[in-house]
A and B are shown apart, each in its own frame.
Chain A
Amino acid sequence: MKMLVCISKTPDTTSKIAFTDNFTRFDTSGVTFIVNPTDEWYALVRAIEVKEQLQTGSVTVINVGPKENESVVIQKALAIGADNAVRIDADAADAFFVASQIAAHAQQEQYDLIFTGKETIDYNGSGIGGMLAELLDMPYLSLANHMVIDAAGSATITREIEGGVEVVTVNKPFVISAQKGMAEQRIPNMRGIMSARTKPVKVIAPVSVDTYTSIVNYQLPPARTEVKLIDPENPETLIKLLHEEAKVI
């Protein structure tokens, strides 16, 4: 099974979010960057597991971003167990730009499975997988939390829907977005970290893409008013306040 895993660079989950240039740019000073959690924990690890289970195939990770992403996110993915990496040398302008870059590479390589995480924790777009699937004319299984696949590429996938799950079958090639339940996070060991340094990272120039969307500016949410504390001896007051003051019940 020839597999491609799309990985994004995102701020660490504990990052304080601030902006510069009159709220038009994300302030990266003091921010630690990581591999987007669902890309790493679920998409990448499940791809590695499939290779281990079938005892054949390859796992390539792909990232659209500047050179520094090689040390920030690509090395981590290689240390966890990807075989090689591709970096498209461009700033990730928007979802369509990123999906178009990945699709241009995937078209040449003819992958069997393409994984993404369910969404990134920075722009929360959740669009890359669906766009890739349409660009490559493949089925798209979004929000998947379980997948079994055989050597022939016939898969049974559980995906989340409102208030439950849907169990579907599909044959390769397809695009899948992975979320919690697909796999368990793996911590790279020393051997993985050492071998990552010798794994190939291919750098590709971007293809030209029309700009579909752009961010005009950012806003921070308004501060919440001070919490109103309710006497624990009279918790019933809460229900009265929720009805009469907050008007939510």
Chain B
Amino acid sequence: MSVLIYVTHANGVIKKSTFETALYARKVADMLGTADVVAVSLGNVSQAELAALGNYGVTRVLADNSSVFTQFDSAAQTKALANAATATNAQVVVLSHNSAGKAIAPRLSVRLKAGLVTGAIDLPVISGASFTVKKSVFSGKAFANYAIHTPVKIVSVSPNAFPVVKGSGSATVEAWQSGVLGADVKVTVKEVKTMSDKVALPEAELVVSAGRGMKGPENWGMIEELADALGAATACSRPVADVHWRPHHEHVGQTGIAISPNLYIAIGISGAIQHLAGVNSSKVIVVINKDPEAPFFKAADYGIVGDAFEIVPRLIQAVKTFKAQNA
């Protein structure tokens, strides 16, 4: 018996989302009275990096460092994970609801004949044979409790929904043959373009976002400067992405991406219902807008009614002072 997780890594460095799923899986395993949390690592990750997953509750790591996994193909990754689930008699498989998880989890659901709930925001409630998981629905306007009826369950966990607390421990790392061959890979990755110096928006704990109130793309310097000072990611509203002031991947809202950072600072965004849907699971929301009637103030924890062009530069200075004092 085991609870299984999937290791997300970029060039051998394990991503924070993996620690979130490990801690989630550990708690699920404890509820089920299962000792083993098994992590499946596909591709080249160092022994030390994998053993350190023990700090987050993982007991065993099955590592297949075959070069077939240098290409991300959801079918091949799914096959490997399914084989690991069968080999370890997995009761529950936990993935992150990130780009890899969104590609793999639905495939795995079919392959293992296992019910899937995507984007879980809380631990499951387990009572006898009943297993229910809470997720956000209607783009953040409500929650639903889903019951999974199949013997094996799959849960993908919303990024940032669970704080990462590092414990201590060391996982046993086992070299393992997943059974995936070159012929299983049908997608060829030509290029990966990442902005390595920036915080990725879906994973960001702090987000500075701006909208039409900034008047034009040339004024985004101060938004980026505030984000850099805080160590935050930048985001934007839909109208701003639509007119190409900012790239599409920064668009948060109902038709963009939904995020749940610890802090969301919205500057010059009125707060249309479609925008709120993508951000209202943020833990703390700050709104800066010169229009006191902006609907966003009703969804905010802190608000400043005023001109962003005056307020943001002062905030940048205040953050820098704060960082210097607390360094």
Q: Cβ of B304 and Cβ of A217 under 8 Å apart?
A: no
Q: Cβ of A145 and Cβ of B190 under 8 Å apart?
A: no
**Set B110, B113, B118, B285: member contacting A124, Cβ < 8 A:** B118
Q: Cβ of A124 and Cβ of B135 under 8 Å apart?
A: yes
- Give the chain B neighbours of A164 by CB distance below 8 A: 192-195, 200
State whether the Cβ of A2 lies closer than 8 Å to any Cβ in chain B.
Answer: no
Q: Do A95 and B138 form a contact, CB below 8 Å, given A167-B189, A212-B149? A: no
B107-126 contact mask (Cβ, 8 Å, vs A): 1 or 0: 11111011111110000000
State whether the Cβ of A189 lies closer than 8 Å to any Cβ in chain B.
Answer: no
CA distance A229 to B289 in the complex (A): 11
- Give the chain A neighbours of B40 by CB distance below 8 A: none
Kindly name the residue among A41, A156, A227, A243 whose own CB sees the greatest number of chain B CB atoms within 10 A. A227
CA distance A230 to B116 in the complex (A): 44
Q: Do A142 and B102 form a contact, CB below 8 Å, given A134-B111, A215-B146? A: yes
A129-162 contact mask (Cβ, 8 Å, vs B): 1 or 0: 1110111010111110100000000001001111
**Chain B proximity of A234: nearest CB distance (Å):** 9
Q: Do A243 and B322 form a contact, CB below 8 Å, given A126-B102, A160-B249, A248-B206? A: yes
**Chain B proximity of A177: nearest CB distance (Å):** 8
Q: Cβ of B137 and Cβ of A123 under 8 Å apart?
A: yes
Q: Cβ of B187 and Cβ of A217 under 8 Å apart?
A: no
- Give the chain A neighbours of B187 by CB distance below 8 A: 139, 141, 168-170
Tally of chain A residues near chain B (CB < 8 A):
80
Q: Cβ of A131 and Cβ of B142 under 8 Å apart?
A: no
**Chain B proximity of A179: nearest CB distance (Å):** 8
- Give the chain A neighbours of B317 by CB distance below 8 A: 236
Q: Cβ of B322 and Cβ of A134 under 8 Å apart?
A: no
**Chain B proximity of A233: nearest CB distance (Å):** 8
**Chain B proximity of A176: nearest CB distance (Å):** 11
Q: Cβ of B106 and Cβ of A213 under 8 Å apart?
A: no
- Contact residues of A between 167 and 184, Cβ < 8 Å to B: 167-171, 180-181
Q: Cβ of B147 and Cβ of A214 under 8 Å apart?
A: yes
**Chain A proximity of B198: nearest CB distance (Å):** 6
A101-138 contact mask (Cβ, 8 Å, vs B): 1 or 0: 00000000000000000000111111111110111010
Chain A residue at minimum C-beta to C-beta distance from B205: A248
State whether the Cβ of A22 lies closer than 8 Å to any Cβ in chain B.
Answer: no
Q: Cβ of B198 and Cβ of A230 under 8 Å apart?
A: no
**Chain A proximity of B256: nearest CB distance (Å):** 7
Q: Do A168 and B188 form a contact, CB below 8 Å, given A219-B143, A249-B230? A: yes
State whether the Cβ of B300 lies closer than 8 Å to any Cβ in chain A.
Answer: yes
Chain B residue at minimum C-beta to C-beta distance from A145: B248
CA distance A248 to B285 in the complex (A): 11
- Give the chain A neighbours of B322 by CB distance below 8 A: 239-240, 243, 249
Residues on B lying within 8 angstroms of A by beta carbon are 15, 72-75, 78, 98-100, 102-111, 113-119, 132, 134-150, 186-196, 198-203, 205-206, 230, 241, 248-249, 251, 254-256, 258, 262-263, 273-274, 277, 280-281, 283-287, 297-307, 310-311, 314-315, 317-319, 322, 326
A-B contact pairs, 13 of them (CB 8 A): A17-B141, A99-B110, A127-B118, A129-B106, A130-B104, A134-B111, A139-B73, A163-B201, A165-B194, A180-B251, A212-B148, A232-B306, A235-B311
Q: Besides A13-B273, A127-B105, A221-B280, 6 other CB < 8 A contacts?
A: A137-B75, A166-B191, A210-B150, A220-B143, A229-B302, A239-B315
